[in-house]
Protein backbone atom coordinates (compact mmCIF):
# COMPACT_ATOMS: atom_id res chain seq x y z
CA UNK A 1 0.00 0.00 0.00
CA UNK A 2 2.89 2.38 0.62
CA UNK A 3 3.53 2.38 -3.13
CA UNK A 4 0.04 3.65 -3.96
CA UNK A 5 0.06 6.24 -1.18
CA UNK A 6 3.52 7.46 -2.18
CA UNK A 7 2.50 7.79 -5.83
CA UNK A 8 -0.62 9.73 -4.87
CA UNK A 9 1.17 12.03 -2.43
CA UNK A 10 3.88 12.67 -5.00
CA UNK A 11 1.31 13.27 -7.72
CA UNK A 12 -0.55 15.97 -5.82
CA UNK A 13 2.71 17.68 -4.86
CA UNK A 14 3.80 17.49 -8.50
CA UNK A 15 0.53 19.09 -9.62
CA UNK A 16 1.73 22.41 -8.18
CA UNK A 17 2.75 23.85 -11.54
CA UNK A 18 5.49 26.43 -11.14
CA UNK A 19 5.24 27.41 -14.80
CA UNK A 20 1.55 28.15 -14.30
CA UNK A 21 2.22 30.12 -11.09
CA UNK A 22 5.07 32.13 -12.63
CA UNK A 23 2.86 32.78 -15.63
CA UNK A 24 0.09 34.10 -13.38
CA UNK A 25 2.54 36.41 -11.61
CA UNK A 26 3.81 37.77 -14.93
CA UNK A 27 0.32 37.77 -16.49
CA UNK A 28 1.48 35.38 -19.19
CA UNK A 29 -0.18 32.05 -19.95
CA UNK A 30 2.70 29.82 -20.98
CA UNK A 31 0.19 27.37 -22.43
CA UNK A 32 -0.46 29.96 -25.16
CA UNK A 33 3.12 31.08 -25.70
CA UNK A 34 6.18 29.46 -27.22
CA UNK A 35 5.91 25.68 -27.18
CA UNK A 36 2.82 25.81 -24.96
CA UNK A 37 4.68 23.81 -22.33
CA UNK A 38 4.61 24.69 -18.62
CA UNK A 39 8.17 23.63 -17.97
CA UNK A 40 11.48 25.41 -17.48
CA UNK A 41 12.58 25.67 -21.09
CA UNK A 42 9.45 27.44 -22.27
CA UNK A 43 9.43 29.72 -19.23
CA UNK A 44 13.06 30.59 -19.94
CA UNK A 45 12.48 31.34 -23.61
CA UNK A 46 9.23 33.23 -23.17
CA UNK A 47 9.74 35.05 -19.87
CA UNK A 48 13.49 35.22 -19.47
CA UNK A 49 16.17 33.95 -17.10
CA UNK A 50 14.62 34.84 -13.74
CA UNK A 51 11.25 33.30 -14.57
CA UNK A 52 12.95 30.24 -16.01
CA UNK A 53 15.12 29.85 -12.92
CA UNK A 54 12.15 30.22 -10.58
CA UNK A 55 10.25 27.58 -12.54
CA UNK A 56 13.26 25.27 -12.58
CA UNK A 57 13.99 25.53 -8.86
CA UNK A 58 10.32 25.20 -7.91
CA UNK A 59 9.88 22.09 -10.01
CA UNK A 60 13.04 20.55 -8.57
CA UNK A 61 11.72 21.25 -5.09
CA UNK A 62 8.57 19.26 -5.84
CA UNK A 63 10.61 16.11 -6.41
CA UNK A 64 12.66 16.71 -3.27
CA UNK A 65 9.66 17.39 -1.03
CA UNK A 66 7.73 14.39 -2.33
CA UNK A 67 10.73 12.11 -1.80
CA UNK A 68 11.44 13.13 1.78
CA UNK A 69 7.80 13.36 2.87
CA UNK A 70 7.16 9.75 1.86
CA UNK A 71 10.52 8.61 3.14
CA UNK A 72 9.43 10.00 6.53
CA UNK A 73 5.89 8.57 6.30
CA UNK A 74 7.04 5.05 5.40
CA UNK A 75 10.32 4.46 7.27
CA UNK A 76 10.18 0.67 6.80
CA UNK A 77 10.32 1.13 3.02
CA UNK A 78 11.87 4.56 2.96
CA UNK A 79 13.97 4.30 -0.21
CA UNK A 80 11.27 2.82 -2.42
CA UNK A 81 8.63 5.07 -0.90
CA UNK A 82 10.76 8.07 -1.81
CA UNK A 83 11.30 6.81 -5.34
CA UNK A 84 7.59 6.15 -5.86
CA UNK A 85 6.82 9.63 -4.52
CA UNK A 86 9.36 11.15 -6.88
CA UNK A 87 7.79 9.30 -9.79
CA UNK A 88 4.40 10.57 -8.65
CA UNK A 89 5.76 14.13 -8.59
CA UNK A 90 6.91 13.77 -12.19
CA UNK A 91 3.49 12.45 -13.21
CA UNK A 92 1.79 15.33 -11.40
CA UNK A 93 4.09 17.81 -13.09
CA UNK A 94 3.45 16.28 -16.52
CA UNK A 95 -0.29 15.71 -16.10
CA UNK A 96 -1.84 18.18 -13.57
CA UNK A 97 -5.53 17.33 -13.27
CA UNK A 98 -6.70 20.94 -12.95
CA UNK A 99 -4.92 22.03 -16.14
CA UNK A 100 -6.52 19.42 -18.38
CA UNK A 101 -3.54 17.14 -17.71
CA UNK A 102 -1.25 19.43 -19.72
CA UNK A 103 1.95 20.24 -17.85
CA UNK A 104 5.68 20.09 -18.39
CA UNK A 105 8.05 17.32 -19.39
CA UNK A 106 9.12 16.26 -15.92
CA UNK A 107 12.86 16.79 -16.16
CA UNK A 108 13.22 19.29 -13.31
CA UNK A 109 11.11 17.15 -10.97
CA UNK A 110 13.21 14.14 -11.98
CA UNK A 111 16.29 16.15 -11.08
CA UNK A 112 14.73 16.70 -7.65
CA UNK A 113 14.27 12.95 -7.25
CA UNK A 114 17.86 12.19 -8.28
CA UNK A 115 19.20 14.98 -6.09
CA UNK A 116 17.39 13.41 -3.14
CA UNK A 117 18.79 9.97 -3.97
CA UNK A 118 22.26 11.49 -4.06
CA UNK A 119 21.89 12.28 -0.37
CA UNK A 120 20.38 9.03 0.86
CA UNK A 121 21.58 6.40 -1.63
CA UNK A 122 24.74 7.38 -3.52
CA UNK A 123 26.21 10.76 -4.55
CA UNK A 124 27.41 9.08 -7.72
CA UNK A 125 23.90 8.75 -9.15
CA UNK A 126 23.54 12.51 -9.19
CA UNK A 127 27.09 13.37 -10.22
CA UNK A 128 27.06 11.00 -13.18
CA UNK A 129 23.54 11.56 -14.49
CA UNK A 130 23.71 15.33 -14.07
CA UNK A 131 27.08 15.24 -15.81
CA UNK A 132 25.62 13.28 -18.71
CA UNK A 133 22.80 15.79 -19.07
CA UNK A 134 25.09 18.81 -18.93
CA UNK A 135 27.49 17.30 -21.45
CA UNK A 136 24.54 16.55 -23.71
CA UNK A 137 23.49 20.21 -23.68
CA UNK A 138 27.04 21.54 -24.06
CA UNK A 139 27.91 19.31 -27.00
CA UNK A 140 24.59 19.59 -28.84
CA UNK A 141 23.40 23.05 -27.72
CA UNK A 142 19.94 21.53 -27.32
CA UNK A 143 18.24 21.28 -23.91
CA UNK A 144 16.08 18.46 -25.24
CA UNK A 145 19.14 16.34 -26.06
CA UNK A 146 20.60 16.87 -22.60
CA UNK A 147 17.24 16.13 -20.97
CA UNK A 148 16.81 12.85 -22.83
CA UNK A 149 20.42 11.82 -22.20
CA UNK A 150 19.98 12.56 -18.49
CA UNK A 151 16.76 10.56 -18.27
CA UNK A 152 18.09 7.54 -20.14
CA UNK A 153 21.26 7.45 -18.07
CA UNK A 154 19.39 7.14 -14.76
CA UNK A 155 18.30 3.47 -14.94
CA UNK A 156 21.67 2.49 -16.39
CA UNK A 157 23.64 4.15 -13.62
CA UNK A 158 21.18 2.87 -11.01
CA UNK A 159 21.89 -0.71 -12.11
CA UNK A 160 25.63 -0.15 -11.89
CA UNK A 161 25.28 1.32 -8.38
CA UNK A 162 23.18 -1.61 -7.16
CA UNK A 163 19.86 0.17 -6.74
CA UNK A 164 16.79 -2.01 -6.04
CA UNK A 165 15.49 -3.49 -9.28
CA UNK A 166 12.03 -2.15 -8.55
CA UNK A 167 13.55 1.30 -8.43
CA UNK A 168 15.47 0.66 -11.65
CA UNK A 169 12.21 -0.33 -13.34
CA UNK A 170 10.63 2.94 -12.21
CA UNK A 171 13.60 4.91 -13.53
CA UNK A 172 13.28 3.08 -16.85
CA UNK A 173 9.61 4.02 -16.97
CA UNK A 174 10.52 7.66 -16.34
CA UNK A 175 13.06 7.49 -19.18
CA UNK A 176 10.40 6.18 -21.57
CA UNK A 177 8.02 8.90 -20.40
CA UNK A 178 10.68 11.57 -20.92
CA UNK A 179 11.35 10.38 -24.47
CA UNK A 180 7.62 10.36 -25.21
CA UNK A 181 7.16 13.84 -23.75
CA UNK A 182 10.01 15.04 -26.00
CA UNK A 183 8.55 13.47 -29.15
CA UNK A 184 7.95 16.86 -30.79
CA UNK A 185 11.49 17.93 -29.93
CA UNK A 186 12.80 14.75 -31.52
CA UNK A 187 10.85 15.49 -34.69
CA UNK A 188 12.30 19.00 -34.77
CA UNK A 189 15.81 17.66 -34.16
CA UNK A 190 15.42 15.36 -37.14
CA UNK A 191 14.16 18.20 -39.33
CA UNK A 192 16.77 20.67 -38.07
CA UNK A 193 14.18 23.09 -36.69
CA UNK A 194 14.73 22.56 -32.96
CA UNK A 195 15.58 25.74 -31.05
CA UNK A 196 19.11 25.87 -29.71
CA UNK A 197 19.74 26.83 -26.10
CA UNK A 198 20.13 30.56 -25.53
CA UNK A 199 19.78 32.78 -22.45
CA UNK A 200 17.58 35.62 -23.61
CA UNK A 201 14.08 36.92 -23.17
CA UNK A 202 12.01 36.57 -26.31
CA UNK A 203 8.96 38.63 -25.27
CB 194 within 8 A of CB 45: no
pLDDT single digits (tens) 119-164: 999 999 999 999 999 999 999 999 999 999 999 999 999 999 999 9
- Position 198 pLDDT exceeds 70: no
- Position 200 pLDDT exceeds 90: no
* 129 vs 171: CA distance, rounded Å: 12
Angle at CA 113, nearest 5°, toward 189 and 82?
140
Angle at CA 171, nearest 5°, toward 167 and 175?
170
pTM for this structure? Answer: 0.92
pLDDT single digits (tens) 88-117: 999 999 999 999 898 999 999 999 999 999
CA distances (Å), origin 155, targets 15, 128, 151: 24, 12, 8
pLDDT single digits (tens) 169-186: 999 999 999 999 999 999
> 198: which DSSP letter?
-
pLDDT single digits (tens) 39-76: 888 888 888 889 889 999 999 999 999 999 999 999 99
Q: What burial letters (b/e) apply to 11-49, b meaning 16+ CB within 10 Å?
A: bebbbbbbbbebbeebebebbebbbebbbbbbbbbbbbe
Amino acid sequence: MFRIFSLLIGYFIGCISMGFIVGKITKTDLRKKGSGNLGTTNALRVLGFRAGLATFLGDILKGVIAFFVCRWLFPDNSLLAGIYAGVGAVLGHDFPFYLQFKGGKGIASTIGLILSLSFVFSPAIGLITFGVGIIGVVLSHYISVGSIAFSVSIPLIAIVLGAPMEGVALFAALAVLAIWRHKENIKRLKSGTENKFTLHKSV
